[in-house]
Structure 1
Amino acid sequence: MHWGWRNCPVAWQGQYTRGDKGHPTIMLEAVASYDLWIWHAYFGPAGSNNDINVLNESDLFDDLLQDRAPKVEFSVNGERFTKVYYLADGIYPEWVTLVNSFKCPMDPKTTKFKRYQEAARKDVERAFEVLQDNGSAITEFEEELIANTTLPTRTWTERCSTQLRMYGELRDRIAHHQLRNALIEQVWNLSEHGRQR
């Protein structure tokens, strides 16, 4: 979202003003859950930014690319997956960690999936509204959550090799489509009230 920046320094206003907004804004990328908990926030750099530019600049996938992200394992419709995923709109790339909606669903399954996926994405919009309204979603940071984190020591070659491998895994379009198709089937098998048929 574009967050209005009322106190933007005059010298920076040209860098942070887009023609369609008419006033300085800063791009905010966020990951939020249904309970309005914001798990990730990143304020984009100056310049003509859109969602993709901010995604490419942000640190959202840094832990994954450095193979420091927590290991996860889950199954969807009987298939096993090992990378967390985020719900996104159709503008985002087909990465294994991003599940896009359909711009123009062509059948009942993809129509239902689009409806469920867009309803879940409303959580982020609600979180933004709460933040803009009165800041009541802001809480104290608990440093003990990261205090006992120990990172593996790696050589430069090991770090580069790991990042290249993880970069390839992140952008795996086949895995992206496997996950999205499994989610489509999972949602299709739900009754209209969210229970498994």
Structure 2
Amino acid sequence: MPRVRRSLRQHCWQTKFFVNQRPYNMAYYLADGIYPSYPTFVKSIRLPQSEPDKLFAHHQEGCRKDIERAFGVLQARFKIIREPARMWDINDLAIIMRSCIILHNMTVEDERDTYAQHWTDYDQSEASGSSTPQPFLTEVLPAFENHVRARSELRDSSEHHELQADLGKHIWAKFGMFRD
């Protein structure tokens, strides 16, 4: 398993991994077409024509949808995840997410037989957003300004396309022979 460390300079997760014998040093997120072509986002291939491209799109979209569904469950259960988080410290956000995941797993395990009933008893007024919104800061903090500046350095679309192509080749080499 690759060792992951947080780079303060670049404000992105640094890790070392190889895809098709090519080294990469930034973690990436699975994204849909609305995201820019940055090396930290791996998007699906729009209108794939070849079989390898179709297989890559199928795997990327399937994994991304699984992640979105899991996050949707957490958002429905924990209000803190639905609130704006832009001004939070990244370490605090990581602790909050891990805590919510652990609490969710504990709840599911404890209430395995009554889980469906618990879900229908969920507070609908909170889910519909009808509760009184809480005010939040709108001023730009220096830490956030630095974050935006660092993120603007990560706009190398050629590295995004290389990673996407390498992942597509990797998936085809691993799963292509099992296609119908």
The normalised TM-score by structure 1 is: 0.47
Provide runs of 4+ in structure 1 moved above 6 Å. none
Identity of aligned residues (%): 36
Report how many residues are paired: 113
Name the CA distance, whole Å, in 2 between partners of 1:65 and 1:163.
13
C-alpha contact (below 8 Å) 2:12/2:27 kept by paired residues: no
Paired amino acid for 1:72: T
Name the CA distance, whole Å, in 1 between partners of 2:159 and 2:12.
18
- 1:106 positional shift: 1.2
Find the partner of 1:74 among 3, 17, 26. 17
Residue aligning to 1:127? 70
Find the partner of 2:38 among 89, 95, 103. 95
Q: Give unpaired runs (5+ residues) of structure 2.
A: 1-5, 79-98, 104-144
Name the CA distance, whole Å, in 2 between partners of 1:100 and 1:188.
16
Paired amino acid for 2:164: R
| 127 and 172 in structure 1: CA distance in 2 versus 1, 3 angstrom threshold | same
Paired amino acid for 1:104: L
- 1:120 positional shift: 0.6
Name the CA distance, whole Å, in 1 between partners of 2:33 and 2:11.
28
Find the partner of 1:173 among 137, 157, 162. 157
Residue aligning to 1:182? 166
**Greater relative contact order (Cα < 8 A, sep 6+):** 2
Paired amino acid for 2:21: G
Paired amino acid for 1:128: F
C-alpha contact (below 8 Å) 2:55/2:176 kept by paired residues: no
| 91 and 100 in structure 1: CA distance in 2 versus 1, 3 angstrom threshold | same
Q: Give unpaired runs (5+ residues) of structure 1.
A: 1-62, 141-158
Paired amino acid for 2:168: I
> What is the RMSD of the two structures over their aligned residues, measured on CA atoms?
3.5
Residue aligned with 1:72, SS: strand
Name the CA distance, whole Å, in 1 between partners of 2:36 and 2:174.
27
The normalised TM-score by structure 2 is: 0.51
Name the CA distance, whole Å, in 1 between partners of 2:101 and 2:22.
37
Name the CA distance, whole Å, in 1 between partners of 2:44 and 2:13.
26
Name the CA distance, whole Å, in 2 between partners of 1:191 and 1:179.
18
Cα deviation code 1:96-151 (max 9, x no counterpart)? 100110221011111000000011102222213422554595547xxxxxxxxxxx
- 1:91 positional shift: 1.6
C-alpha contact (below 8 Å) 2:31/2:64 kept by paired residues: yes
| 171 and 193 in structure 1: CA distance in 2 versus 1, 3 angstrom threshold | same
